[in-house]
Copies of this chain bind each other. A is one copy, B any other.
Amino acid sequence: MALDKQHDSADADAVRGLIERWAAAVRAHDYEGILAEHAPGIVMFDVPPPLLSRGIDEYRRTWDLFFTVHEPGDAFDVLDLEVTAGRDVAFAVALMRCGGSHDGEGEAYLLDFRLTVGLRKLAGRWQIVHEHHSVPAD
């Protein structure tokens, strides 16, 4: 991807690091890590219904649902990430891949999806205030 005139800043690096840590926490089913850098009022647009989840409790439940399919160690990978960061507002645009080929009980799956993340810097710390995950409609 190529968004126009990327900022190439310490802030962009901080946001990139945050997103990679979050993805690693998802791979490990580490809820504390998944939720560590999210604002209480996060607005989540997830791949499956509902249309919208609001607040950290509803956000957490979207992961309960995902982990009925995704097993610890399955892929949840940032394939391509572009960060646009200002002084206290940033957003990130990514192509993502999740999946696993289970020899055990789980069914094999592979899903490429789109991710947009909105962030604010509060008290010197970047926080995720919005996530939008989706696949194209059939």
Contacts and interface: CB of A to CB of B under 8 A. Distances in A.
Interface string A1-32: 11111010000000000000000000000000
A135 to B, nearest CB: 5
A75 interface: no
A2 B130 CA distance: 10
A43 to B, nearest CB: 5
Number of copies: 2
Contacts of A52: 1, 95, 114
Nearest to A85: B89
A132 B132 contact: yes
B2 A41 contact: yes
Contact residues on A (Cβ < 8 Å of other chain), bracket? 35 or more
A116 B2 CA distance: 18
Contacts of A51: 95, 112, 114, 135-136
Contact of A40 (B4, B49, B85, B114): B4
A49 B82 CA distance: 21
